[in-house]
Amino acid sequence: MLWRNHSALKGKLHPDYPDDLQVIVHDGGPRLTERQPELVWVRITGMGKDLLTGTVLNAPTQLLSVQQEQHIQFALAGVEHPVMLTAKYLKEKAAWNIQACQKCGLTELFDAPSDLIKVIFPNIPADAHLEGFSSFCPLCHGVQLVEATNVAAEAKHPWWKFWAS
Ligand SMILES: [Zn+2]
């Protein structure tokens, strides 16, 4: 039970149930769903370097993609409660630098970058090389800037413009 004494989780674990904490779960960010994120209790089952796993203890009231007893992955995300991250998001995340929300400090997106790009740039070719985009924070509707990790090395165009390759 490594996590019980983890400094980053201090004050977040339930005082009587030290494997339980509240996690923000969601169906996605505001571009992809109208359903609001919810705070549920989750029992931690594992902890990696940056990622925790756990079981949802109480049923969300209006979400479609999260159910009671579902196994989820989540991480500390710069805000009060940790945030659920989907497998698709985690797979794509390494290709992007996600800047913290300028208003609330959230360091993760709720949606996979490829899903956001399809909505933000509906006419962009599927094989286009996108250097960066901005997204609305799913918690406070502040702005999060997202930059492809290979852009800094190339630096041929301002990062905030996208270019078809
Ligand atoms: Zn925010």
The H-or-E segment that residue 90 falls in is helix 87-93
Q: Does residue 25 carry a pLDDT above 50?
A: yes
The secondary structure element, H or E, covering residue 21 is: strand 20-25
- Structure confidence at residue 55 (pLDDT): 98
Distance (Å) from CA 139 to ligand 1 centroid: 5
pLDDT of residue 155: 53
pTM for this prediction: 0.88
CA–centroid distance, 136 to ligand 1, in Å, is 8
Residue 15, pLDDT above cutoff 60: yes
User: For residue 2, which phi and psi values (nearest 5 degrees)?
Assistant: -45, -40
Query: Does residue 49 carry a pLDDT above 70?
Result: yes
pLDDT score of 83:
98
- CA 81 to ligand 1 center in whole angstroms: 13
Higher pLDDT, 1 or 74: 74
Residue 114, C-beta contacts closer than 8 angstroms, at least 6 positions apart: 88, 92
Ion ligand 1 contact residues with beta carbon within 5 A: 101, 103-104, 106, 137, 139-140, 142
Distance 158 CA to ligand 1 centre (A): 24
pLDDT of 116-162, one tens digit each?
999 999 888 877 778 999 999 999 999 999 999 975 555 555 555 55
